[in-house]
Homo-oligomer: A and B are copies of this chain.
Amino acid sequence: MKTADPELMRAINRFHVLDTIRRAGAISRVEIGEYTQLSATTISAITGALIEDELITPHHEGDLRSSGTGRGRPRVKLTLNAGAARVVGAKIATNGLAFVVSDFEGQPLAELKLPLRADRLALAVLADLVEDGVRRCVHDAGLTLGEINSVALALPGVIEHGSGRVRSSPIFRDTDVQLTETIGQRLGVPTIAESDANAVALGEHWFGRARDCDDFLVVAVENGLGLAVMHGGQLFRGARELSLDLGQMMLGGQDGSYHRLLDLAGDDAILCGGQGDIRLREAVHLGRPMTHVRRLIEQGNPDLAQAVHRAGEALGIAIANLVGLFAPPRVILAGANLALGPHLLDPLRTSFDRSVTPSLREISEIIIDEAGDELWARGAAAVALGELYGSPWGSTGPALRTMTGLARAGE
Contacts and interface: CB of A to CB of B under 8 A. Distances in A.
Contact of A16 (B3, B244, B250, B327): B3
A375 interface: no
Question: Interface extent on A, as a size class?
Answer: 35 or more
A325 B258 contact: no
Contact of A250 (B175, B245, B255, B317): B317
Nearest to A168: B359
Interface string A8-49: 111011001000000000000000000011100000000000
Interface of A: 1-6, 8-10, 12-13, 16, 36-38, 158, 167-168, 175, 215, 227, 231-233, 236, 238-240, 242, 244-246, 248-255, 257-259, 264, 310, 313-314, 317, 320-321, 324-329, 351, 354-357, 359-360
18 contacts: A3-B16, A4-B9, A9-B9, A239-B327, A240-B327, A242-B327, A244-B325, A245-B325, A248-B320, A248-B324, A248-B360, A252-B252, A252-B317, A252-B355, A254-B259, A254-B310, A258-B317, A258-B354
A239 B328 contact: yes
Given A3-B38, A168-B359, 9 more contacts: A1-B233, A3-B12, A8-B9, A238-B325, A246-B324, A253-B255, A254-B310, A258-B317, A258-B354
B257 A253 contact: yes
A273 to B, nearest CB: 13
Identify the interface centre among A167, A246, A249, A354: most chain B CB within 10 Å of its CB: A249
B250 A259 contact: no
A274 B264 CA distance: 35
Given A239-B326, A240-B327, A327-B239, A250 B13 contact: no
A235 to B, nearest CB: 12
Contact of A359 (B167, B238, B240, B355): B167
A236 B237 CA distance: 11
Task: Report the copy number of this chain in the oligomer.
Answer: 2
A260 to B, nearest CB: 8
Contacts of A356: 248
Contacts of A4: 4, 8-10, 12-13
A175 B249 CA distance: 30
B9 A238 contact: no
A409 B244 CA distance: 47
A230 to B, nearest CB: 10
Contacts of A251: 250-253
A12 B8 CA distance: 12
Nearest to A357: B248
Contacts of A167: 359
Nearest to A354: B258
Nearest to A12: B4
